[in-house]
Structure 1
Amino acid sequence: MKVAILGSGAMGCLFGAAFHRAGCDVTLVDVSQPHVDAINASGLELDLRGGVEHLPIPARLPADAEGPFDLVVVFTKTFHTEGALQGLAHAIGPDTHLLSLQNGLGNAEKLAGFVPDAQVMVGASMMPSDLVGPGKVRSHGDGHSRLYPAFGGNPARAEAVADALTRGGLDTQLDPAIHEAIWSKVIFNAAMNPLCALTRRTPGFLGANPEARATIRAVVEEGVAAAHANGRMIDPAPIHALTEVSMTDHADHEASMLQDVKAGRRTEVDAINGAIVLAAEAKGLAAPVTRTLWHLVKLEEAKLG
């Protein structure tokens, strides 16, 4: 399988490494020249619980990626999706499948603008991963991933992708209820990410403070109500449990939104908290705590000018 990882940051590199271990022909595609240069010079460095490994995976700027690819895995920020795929359009062939493992809601519809619906897959991953420098990624937590065709249809390609990732060390399962899984991840992120970003602290700090815990619980309940109103009948208990895991097992993990705020970058809060609020309001519900966190993170972004 010829695979491109479009957006080879922390998560993209983690998944690119898994495909590489499974014997796939992998290209890491990213817009950061220092990151690309570091990977090509010394290999991708992965700091895992089991030790450090260096993998000889080629990295390319989008214009230099040579296709056509069998699979393009999209890990860009949600607001860069269309632009990133346009930049890789020359390497997307008539049989290329696209897989979004991005944060937020609405990613499948964006990918469907570039390939037929039957060639679009979506997924959700709960793996922690941090980009510690050009060409260097750390992942010291456990997790799993799920994926499935976004609009139904034959799951054969999705099964091949899941099998490759599992062989490469990332446990991945087919899940026909993938949209419920995505909603669950979005709700989890809406509860944890903004609080990490606003306090400039990791989940362990949140777990030690009752104010944070109360806010997290409220956001989860608001998100689940919004999901139910939109026909996604998810159970809040696993999401609450996952927030506990985040505050204990992943206590020192820097959430992506925290990394963005510290680096002075735009966050994905619109596709996470904002999407939940709008989905709730479309069904006549309010999500006041989720909305407040959305607005506060937008104020942080406003400081960027």
Structure 2
Amino acid sequence: MNKVAVLGGGSLGLLLAGKLKASGCDCVLWTRTRLQASLVNARGITIEEREGDPSTLVPIEARPFEDVKAFDGFLLLAVKQTAIKDDFVIRLAEIVPVGGVIVLLQNGIGHAELLEQALPGRKLVIAVTSEGARRIDETTVRHTGIGETRLGEDVEVDKEHLLFIEREMKQAGLSVYLSKHLKDEILRKLLVNAVINPTTAILRIRNGEITQSKERLEFVRSLFAETFGILRSEGLSADESGLWNALLNVSQATSLNESSMLQDVLAGKETEIEFINGAIGRMAARQGKESPWNNAVTALVKAIH
């Protein structure tokens, strides 16, 4: 069991598949459309690195997801939560056998519980990544920000399987760690996404611009404070001032990036707002709290789509 499939031909999927294949991993890309699979088979994947670094062209086999048969290997699920619908999950159940390992790389929350119920007997590894990527076209991806990926270690997955995934991703030049405290990592990333993503999507700005005026700073500070209070009741352990500074650091470190939600809005695609701020609003309701800021940005982003 040393084969790897990356499912999803978006920005993260192209980046992971290209880097894994370039490093010598036995990796294949599964795409949502026949057209993209055909183009990748003809052209390979082009990875554009940071300014000044040469691009890498990686020949790789691609298959349309609907044509894939049973797969005995590791699956990196790099589609967005909006793609995880009933027909998609039915296909996953047909392809991934009981005992198969699926690494979940989605933003937001709720997908792990959904897939756990829909795919009994499969081993799900929850991952949190801050790698920045932007798809330029069907076969080209730009690596816009070097980040970290953390794999949940507190799961019923053989340690050797987790170590294999970690080793292959590190060999591909990615920073990867196993974590026994992934819930806190998930909540931290959810907090950052819940502030940066809707703000950039609504205002049509890059990450570094969210605090470039007094009015923007007041807006993101209010959204942050409300979200922090809700997530703290869910088990978020860090202090508020430390996380606020971390959020500002992320904004500056990725200042030229367009968030994934902004990219979806500009492309006219459905966003993941329901799985980020919408989910936080539902958390607040369960806690008996109000969430006017999260409810407002959820409604605004949905109205744009």
Which residue is equivalent to 2:88? 84
Cα deviation, 1:211-265, whole Å, max 9, x if unaligned, reads: 2222222222222222221234244455433432343232221111111111111
AA matched with 2:15: L
Which residue is equivalent to 1:41? 42
Which residue is equivalent to 1:2? 3
- Offset at 1:94? 2.7
Does 2:281 match 1:277?
yes
Distance 1:214 1:33 in 2: 46
Give the unaligned 5+ runs of structure 2.
none
- Offset at 1:114? 4.5
Distance 2:169 2:105 in 1: 13
Distance 2:122 2:158 in 1: 8
Does 2:289 match 1:288?
no
- Offset at 1:188? 0.7
Which residue is equivalent to 1:64? 67
CA shift in 2, pair 1:215/1:155, >3 Å? farther
TM-score w.r.t. structure 2 length? 0.90
Structure 1 residues 260-269 or 17-26, which shifts more?
17-26
Structure 1 residues 169-178 or 151-160, which shifts more?
151-160
1:223-234 equivalences in 2 (<5 Å): 223-234=227-238
1:170-185 equivalences in 2 (<5 Å): 170-185=174-189
1:92-241 equivalences in 2 (<5 Å): 92-116=96-120, 119-149=123-153, 151=155, 154-237=158-241, 239-241=243-245
Q: Are the aligned partners of 2:134 and 2:144 in contact in 1 as well (CA < 8 Å)?
A: no
Q: Are the aligned partners of 1:118 and 1:149 in contact in 2 as well (CA < 8 Å)?
A: no
- Offset at 1:292? 1.3
What secondary structure is seen at the aligned counterpart in 1 of 2:174?
coil
CA shift in 2, pair 1:249/1:28, >3 Å? same
Structure 1 residues 195-204 or 150-159, which shifts more?
150-159
What secondary structure is seen at the aligned counterpart in 2 of 1:72?
strand
- Offset at 1:154? 4.7
Q: Are the aligned partners of 2:184 and 2:235 in contact in 1 as well (CA < 8 Å)?
A: no
Distance 2:165 2:263 in 1: 29
Name the % identity: 26
What secondary structure is seen at the aligned counterpart in 2 of 1:147?
strand
Distance 1:131 1:95 in 2: 32
Structure 1 residues 163-172 or 204-213, which shifts more?
204-213
Given the alignment, which residue of 254, 261, 281 partners 1:257? 261
AA matched with 1:38: L
AA matched with 2:144: H
What secondary structure is seen at the aligned counterpart in 2 of 1:69?
coil
What secondary structure is seen at the aligned counterpart in 1 of 2:289?
coil
Structure 1 residues 92-101 or 38-47, which shifts more?
92-101
Distance 1:281 1:225 in 2: 13
Structure 1 residues 276-285 or 97-106, which shifts more?
276-285
Distance 1:204 1:9 in 2: 23
Q: RMSD of the alignment, in Å?
A: 2.1
Structure 1 residues 179-188 or 87-96, which shifts more?
87-96
Structure 1 residues 279-288 or 129-138, which shifts more?
279-288
Q: Are the aligned partners of 1:119 and 1:149 in contact in 2 as well (CA < 8 Å)?
A: no
Structure 1 residues 189-198 or 228-237, which shifts more?
228-237
Give the unaligned 5+ runs of structure 1.
none
Distance 1:212 1:289 in 2: 14
CA shift in 2, pair 1:135/1:79, >3 Å? same
Distance 1:59 1:67 in 2: 15
TM-score w.r.t. structure 1 length? 0.90
AA matched with 2:80: K
AA matched with 2:42: A
Cα deviation, 1:16-47, whole Å, max 9, x if unaligned, reads: 22332443221111113332222111110000
Structure 1 residues 287-296 or 230-239, which shifts more?
230-239
